[in-house]
Structure 1
């Protein structure tokens, strides 16, 4: 029987090798974990233990919220809600230079906040805004970069599947507290994206684009109000204790379905397609959670979290330097991993270190999600980067240069979120969700 160090080494070597030869990350995690487990168990015990760990990992009531929020986002993407949010965003921010791009940024925040998906926001809002921006003479790379950079804001502003995943990985962080904690950082993300877009727009002479008159602004506000009301219903209901996050996800599906039928943008015949797309997306997420649970058991057995914690604490005892190092590690990991597996794998490793330094579990969740949101717009595997480039019909290398100012200001925002706890905790404390 192999010792704990050898077991951890087998897993840590096999997973990168499998990834290098093109095996999908979820399969690589599962195979690497099973290979490590095979060194300590017979085949039958290994199969039973792996199945038990996987089942335990997905046996959580809160995870039922994921398929419903995914379905709500898919219905929204096809339900005409994006256009109404774009018009509302234009009414809010159309007075500043580069109005169409600024509208794109605000609309991404609104759509992402309602759908909980940065990818959906980049596709729906970017797809609708792109032709308008091209017709107005906006540089394609500039417009695409603004769309891509602002889309992850919705992963921080609730409802957010990413926070639900973190709640599971952390072993019990309150989903309601995480949802409320994401508001200020998510808004700061969007505001941060407005700054480089404004500077570029002024330099290039892009004009503002006001809606003509109070009546026009009132009209688009009324049209967007039902969609915006969903945020109030979902978050307000969770905070007040009227329903749980899982129940809120069901309400979101019913609400956006009724709204889309009222708008006459979807038909009954389209619903089976929405359900199939939801099943595919949810299946990938749940499978990832299951294999991550197996991997987490192996890591605990091999004492990998303890070894990493001891290594970091052995370098320095400064909480500031340790948090900066963890942020750097998470930023690098975010470049090569999707947020879901990254959170599932590394939350159990980094969270004990953060809490030992005095960081609140909810605050650290916001830090972790903020880090991995940056990863979604970063090559080589950033999903929002790929979707945004595909929507704009541009090569990634053409857009990355325009993204650099956004990367820099978002890293500054990350440091602010890390070292100013009240940005994350003020609202949860005000609602009595954290101490």
Structure 2
């Protein structure tokens, strides 16, 4: 009865505050404190919640989050997006609907470098928007392709989503999570490309003029320094040369030197990058601190165990449990961003998946992919709003074009959930799984 009371108070308070317009981090903290007061005296509740919030962000590995945010912000203003678009255009320029495929490939490359779906949607979308319009592409279709492909960078490493999940899940290997993200991330891009190919074949969108070998080589050379960041950072982390936090510091230094070499960053733009990094870091860290308080309340009142027992008693089939979990995550993704969703639902769902035999690394990929889909769906999809804003199209026109992508990505999510090799195969081959 204690767990039932606690879960009722906790989530009722959280959703009331959330729908009242209170910021999600504040809603988490206040809901946790209210629930703690039901079971503990005022002094104990105040002390313990405050202590747990402090402990939640007192982690060396979490230092990687602001550093990767900093590196991503530097890339946004460092002239890297244009070089990646040119390289992607060389790679897929002869395919029907080449600019749509260029958008997908450029988002995969830039998203992997920046680690931000919103940054990818803004940078790549704005770079290709005028070119697509002049080529006769339907702006709503172009926006849909950009929105659907921008979140691929949340799966393809290096990604802060994997670092946050690793911390919340109790030290799941960041190296294993990074390697696990490659296949689902690449498959996500390929699914969107296939759907775009079918549409562009019907519309007879043009190919791009053939590029000479020399021009293609020059595009590769211009983009190669940016691409090497993935090799340096991910390779260094996976092979134990440095930790994820040290890799993030290397990423900051590398992107800063690269931007200076490109002469694309002024002192004014650098101060703007620092300011945006400080603001983003404050938001993320306060979210993590507040969720640490909520995690303690849930553990103290036995909420995860009670939810696990209830779900296992209702459904004795592993397949049914996984389908129910996917439905929950897809619904959650429609109104919650990826970081708070990971922070809130990892402590609840991870014990259930471990009980039915799912590896924590695989669950991390399922969770992140489900939240990637959520970023492109209304009513609170952050990438949806950025993508439509860049294109100048209304959400009402773009959403119907997104439906085929949504269906394809949901099918991919089901595949990643029920085929462990899609996420565990690569880290398993590299000996990164425990």
C-alpha separation in 1, matches of 2:329 and 2:278: 29
What is the CA–CA distance in structure 2 between the aligned matches of 1:302 and 1:400, rounded to whole Å? 41
Q: Are positions 1:92 and 2:88 aligned together?
A: no
CA shift, 1:271, in A, is: 1.8
Q: Distance in 2 between matches of 1:82 and 1:238?
A: 24
Is 1:16 equivalent to 2:15 in the alignment? yes
8 A Cα contact 1:8 1:298, kept in partner: no
CA gap 1:135/1:361 in 2 versus in 1, 3 angstroms:
same
Shift of 1:3: 4.6
Check if 1:105 corresponds to 2:101.
Answer: no
The 8 Å contact of residues 112 and 230 in structure 2, kept in 1 or not, is answered as: yes
Partners in 2 of 1:397 and 1:324 — Cα distance?
29
Give distance in 2, aligned partners of 1:233 and 1:427.
Answer: 18
CA distance in 1, matches of 2:15, 2:344: 14
Residues 140-196 of structure 1, C-alpha deviations (whole Å, 9 max, x = no match): 100000000000100000000111111011111011110111001000000000011
Please say if residues 331 and 375 of structure 1, whose CA atoms lie closer than 8 Å, have aligned partners that are also in contact: yes
In the alignment of these two chains, the number of paired residues is 434
**Runs of 5+ unmatched residues, structure 2:** none
What are the Cα deviations for residues 363-412 of structure 1, in whole angstroms up to 9, with x where unaligned? 11111111111101111101111110111112212111000000011011
Aligned twin of 2:371: 372
Deviation at 1:302, TM superposition (A): 2.5
- Larger mean CA deviation between 417-426 and 105-114 belongs to 417-426
CA-CA distance at 1:311 after TM superposition:
2.1
Structure 2 residue 53 is the aligned partner of structure 1 residue 54: yes
The range that moved more, 368-377 or 43-52, is: 43-52
How far residue 356 of structure 1 moved from its aligned partner, in angstroms, is: 1.4
Q: Deviations over 1:259-283 (max 9, x none)?
A: 1111111023322221111010011
**Aligned mates of 1:44, 1:212 — CA distance in 2:** 70
CA drift of 1:256 comes to: 0.8
1:170 matched residue in structure 2: 169
TM superposition shift of 1:5: 3.5
How far apart, CA to CA, are the structure 2 residues paired with 1:7 and 1:183?
39
CA distance in 2, matches of 1:311, 1:42: 29
Which region of structure 1 is more displaced relative to structure 2, 142-151 or 343-352? 343-352
Distance in 2 separating the partners of 1:356 and 1:43: 35
Cα deviation, 1:229-248, whole Å, max 9, x if unaligned, reads 11110111111111111001
- State the partner residue of 2:430: 431
For residues 281-311 of structure 1, the C-alpha deviation after alignment (integer angstroms, 9 at most, x for no partner) is: 0110110011111111111222221222122
- Measure the CA separation in 2 of the matches of 1:126 and 1:242: 35
Q: What's the counterpart of residue 388 of structure 1?
A: 387
CA contact (8 A) 2:135 2:206 kept: no
Instruction: Give yes or no for contact 1:90–1:210 (8 Å, CA) kept in 2.
Output: no
Which residue pairs with 1:184 in the alignment? 183
* Whole-angstrom distance in 1 between the partners of 2:130 and 2:345: 40
- In structure 1, C-alpha distance between the alignment counterparts of 2:404 and 2:144, rounded to whole Å: 10
Aligned match of 2:418: 419
Partner of 2:396: 397
Residue of structure 2 in register with 1:207 after alignment? 206
Structure 1 residues 76-135: Cα deviation after superposition (integer angstroms, max 9, x where no partner):
011100000000001111111111111011000000001111111001000111111111
Report the equivalent of 1:137: 136
Stretch moving more, 296-305 or 246-255: 296-305
Query: Partner of 1:319 in structure 2?
Result: 318
Assess if the C-alpha contact under 8 Å between 2:93 and 2:208 holds in 1. Answer: yes
Q: Distance in 2 between matches of 1:4 and 1:225?
A: 54
CA distance in 2, matches of 1:211, 1:273: 39
Residue number in structure 1 paired with 2:296: 297
Distance 1:341 1:299 in 2: 16
Q: Counterparts in 2 of 1:332-347, with a 5 A limit?
A: 332-347=331-346
Q: Secondary structure at the match of 1:336?
A: coil
Q: Distance in 1 between matches of 2:146 and 2:6?
A: 44
Give me the whole-angstrom Cα distance separating, in 2, the residues matched to 1:402 and 1:311: 39
Kindly report which structure 2 residues correspond to 1:242-261, keeping only aligned pairs within 5 A, or say none.
Answer: 242-261=241-260
Q: Distance in 2 between matches of 1:78 and 1:355?
A: 42
TM-score after normalising by structure 2? 0.98
Contact 1:64 1:246 in 2 (8 A): yes
Cα separation, 2, equivalents of 1:166 and 1:12? 21
Three-state SS of the structure 1 residue aligned to 2:415 is helix
Gaps of 5+ in 1: none
* Structure 1 vs Structure 2 CA RMSD: 1.2
Please say if residues 305 and 351 of structure 2, whose CA atoms lie closer than 8 Å, have aligned partners that are also in contact: no
Determine the C-alpha separation between the residues in 2 that align with 1:161 and 1:3. 35
